[in-house]
Amino acid sequence: MAAPTRTGIANLPLHYGKAPPWLFHRMVKLAREITIAIVTDFGPEEMLRRLSHPYWFQAFGCILGFDWHSSGVTTTLCGALKEAVKGMERDLGLFVAGGKGRTSRRTPAEIESWADLTSINPEPLVYASRMSAKVDSSAVQDGCELYHHSFVFTPQGSWAVIQQGMNEVNRYARRYHWLGEAVTDFVNEPHSAILSQSKGQALNLVAGESDPARTTIAGIAAAEKPEKTLAELRKLKTLLNMPARHQIAISDLHPDSLSKIILGAYERQPQDFAQLLGLPGVGARTIRALSLISELVYGVAPSYRDPARYSFAHGGKDGIPYPVDRKTYDRSIELLSRAINRAGLGLSEKKEAFNRLDKMRLE
């Protein structure tokens, strides 16, 4: 199986409600035809590459008629895609697992179910699903809590992840894209493009400059006696001279509640940061606590660089978050125009799709 790479992140304002049935039905139908066209012409792996690209994914949602700037485009588009390929998975060589809320937690079971029917080895796929979620919820802590996780894969073991987190304070959602190729390490600069409307500071343990901190954190978990680690955490609770930032706060430390997890990590003896991150029960709080010990006790600081590298996909016609980037938008539309043109759509549906494209160009 190819190595993983996260390909992007997009920030979207939270919109509540859901697509009306009349729209969702049409989204499913058009998504099915576009998917068939792309898989037929370029293969299922190309569909993974396109889904994993935030610009293309956003344009895809626009083509299907959903709000360009809504957080709901993620959950609705992934739901429409899952419904679109239903019954055709084996013919297309493309499977969709997971979804929003409780459905996201059924992702491993869905992967294993398809694996039983198609003789796929599920273990690497389940691992990729689990680790991509662990990285974006614990190794990169940007204030967003994951609530959506879609996992798309092929019988050959290629995969892509589209997942989304929510920040209820600023009322924005952030979308994370992963593609299972090109990078050999889940925890060292796994992404090639990340989209965000604004850049800030975040605990970024997958940054290249965080490599010493990753090594130190794994060493603390595996080599230090749990009693010493917990004693250091309690000592830090009394420190007054803290860094002038709030990415990791003393209030995040809860030595008593972490004791069982730290003891479990010590007993399992993780060999590196990736193994530590993958351990059951090791989540954001554990990683924050060990990061503080690494920085304040051992003098090895993690990176606080926001991993975002690019602005939001196309902008908005009302200037929010900024005026439409027409050149980028036109490239996305041209790509999708070709897909629609190749698709076996009825004349009325094809006309409707191109009318939507023409309207976007005019705007």
Report d(CA 3, CA 185) in Å as an integer: 7
Strand partners, 178: 6, 161
Residue 121 and residue 18 share a domain: yes
Residue 321 and residue 218 share a domain: no
**Domain termination site, one of 264, 290, 305:** 305
**Domain termination site, one of 258, 280, 305:** 305
Q: So what's the pLDDT on residue 157?
A: 93
**Domain termination site, one of 305, 335, 352:** 305
Q: So what's the pLDDT on residue 348?
A: 59
Q: In the chain, what are the helix, strand and coil shares in percent, each to the nearest 5?
A: 50, 15, 35
Q: Give the pair of three-digit tokens for residue 277.
A: 């991150």
Give 216's contacts (C-beta < 8 A, 6+ positions apart). 294, 298, 300
CA 178 to chain centre: 6
Q: Give the pair of three-digit tokens for residue 146.
A: 């994951």
Q: Give the pair of three-digit tokens for residue 124.
A: 């690497």
Residue 154 and residue 134 share a domain: yes
Residue 146 and residue 71 share a domain: yes
Residue 120 and residue 24 share a domain: yes
Closest CA to 35 of 87, 78, 92: 92
Residue 82 burial (CB count, 10 A) = 21
Report yes or no on whether pTM surpasses 0.85.
no
Q: So what's the pLDDT on residue 69?
A: 47
User: 3-state DSSP call for residue 95?
Assistant: strand
Q: Give the pair of three-digit tokens for residue 338.
A: 């070709």
Residue 122 and residue 18 share a domain: yes
User: 3-state DSSP call for residue 72?
Assistant: helix
Residue 40 and residue 130 share a domain: yes
What is each CA distance from 49 to 63, 160, 308, in whole angstroms?
18, 8, 19
Residue 105 and residue 159 share a domain: yes
Residue 93 and residue 173 share a domain: yes
Contacts 24+ apart (CB under 8 A), 316-324: 316/68, 316/69, 317/363, 320/69, 321/197, 324/363
Residue 227 lies in domain: 208-305
Q: Give the pair of three-digit tokens for residue 125.
A: 């796929």
Residue 124 and residue 72 share a domain: yes
Q: So what's the pLDDT on residue 105?
A: 95
What is each CA distance from 244 to 79, 289, 321, in whole angstroms?
42, 17, 29
Q: So what's the pLDDT on residue 186?
A: 93
Residue 159 and residue 57 share a domain: yes
User: 3-state DSSP call for residue 98?
Assistant: strand
Q: What's the total number of domains in the chain?
A: 2
pLDDT tens track, the chain, 363 positions? 455 555 555 454 444 446 677 778 888 888 898 898 889 889 999 999 999 888 788 878 877 776 544 557 888 899 999 999 999 999 999 999 999 999 999 999 999 999 999 889 999 999 999 999 999 999 999 888 999 999 999 999 999 999 888 877 777 778 889 999 876 799 998 776 666 655 678 899 999 999 999 999 999 999 999 999 999 988 887 764 555 454 555 565 678 889 999 999 999 999 999 999 999 999 999 999 999 999 988 999 999 988 866 554 444 444 444 455 566 556 655 665 666 566 555 555 655 665 655 555 555
Angle between helices 122-134 and 107-118 in degrees, nearest 10: 160
Q: So what's the pLDDT on residue 316?
A: 43
Residue 179 and residue 116 share a domain: yes
